[in-house]
Structure 1
Amino acid sequence: MKFHNFILIIVVILFISGCKQSEDNDEKLIDDNLTESNINKTDKQSDGLILFTGDFLYFDNAAVLNTGQTVYGVVVNEKIRQLDSLVQPFKSDPTDMISVGIRGKLIPKAENVEGWDYSIEVEEIVNVYPDEKAEAIVN
């Protein structure tokens, strides 16, 4: 009977320690999955800003960003005017879209308001990509 209890205690200890190792592995997998699923977030995770890349257009005091999956309205502020001055040399037509990387806050559209479902309030200009062959201009 003592031998049987001893074996039972060993099995329980091994089971508990195996579960602990499994939890550690699960946490690592969850962290890896979160990193992979949130590839649009920047390294500065604690500031709440999201990295957006896409084609930017500022025309007639209105701005949009086309990411290829979604088109966002862009809140016109000083950063947008600065971004517009950076992309102007690469435009051959006022309505040309230039590829950019920006960081900002995603703002949902208020009810009963016309416009894009989401807008971006830009807080940082990351890159301007004049064309696919050129190197990025880092600001």
Structure 2
Amino acid sequence: MKQVLIVLVTFAMLFNCKNKKEDTKITQEPSSTEKVATEANGLTLLKGEFIYYADAAVLETPTEIYGVVIDDNMHELDKQVQPYKKLPTDMVPVEIKGKIIPKPDNEEGWPFRVEIKEIVKVSKPNLEDNNVVTLGK
């Protein structure tokens, strides 16, 4: 039980720090380097690490963090990343096509959300990039 609590606190601290950094960009559009390819239908190809844990889904790219709209496509992506996860808090590299939308003003979270429209690729995580600290047995 203590291990789970430590992991959750560490996870919350990690994302809380990143959230503070993002607060300065609330009124800005996602960076142009983030948009790898935008199609005529308004979908954007995004590459990053995905996690769905405790009813929150996040896509972290090299320059932005997006909340992910929880719908059938997000649940399908979560099913596809499960074989690559050793712990529930592991993030898995993915490529998706989605629609970037600003978050509602009355809600907390990252300035932009992504609604997954197509799952392009799910990759095996690089174990050398694992920055998770675990305590105990």
Give TM-score scaled by structure 2 length: 0.64
Q: d(CA) in 1 for partners of 2:109 and 2:79?
A: 25
* AA at the equivalent of 1:117: P
Structure 1: 5+ residue runs without aligned partners?
A: 1-35, 134-139
* AA at the equivalent of 1:60: A
Q: d(CA) in 2 for partners of 1:61 and 1:82?
A: 15
What root-mean-square deviation, in Å, do the aligned CA atoms of Structure 1 and Structure 2 show?
2.0
1:60 aligned residue (42, 54, 79) = 54
Match status 1:95 vs 2:89: yes
Identity %: 44
Q: How many residues align?
A: 96
Structure 2: 5+ residue runs without aligned partners?
A: 1-31, 128-137
Please give the per-residue CA displacement for 1:104-130, whole angstroms capped at 9, x wherever unaligned. 000102223211100000010000011
Contact 2:47/2:61 (<8 A) preserved: yes
Residues 112 and 47 (structure 1), Cα distance of their counterparts in 2 relative to 1, 3 Å cut: same
SS of alignment partner, residue 114 of structure 1: coil
Q: d(CA) in 2 for partners of 1:121 and 1:50?
A: 10
Match status 1:40 vs 2:15: no
Q: Which has the higher contact order (CA 8 A, sep 6+)?
A: 2
Q: Which has the larger radius of gyration?
A: 1
Mapping of residues 1-139 of structure 1, within 5 Å: 40-42=36-38, 45-132=39-126
* AA at the equivalent of 2:37: K
Residues 37 and 114 (structure 1), Cα distance of their counterparts in 2 relative to 1, 3 Å cut: closer
Q: d(CA) in 2 for partners of 1:38 and 1:72?
A: 11
Give TM-score scaled by structure 1 length: 0.63
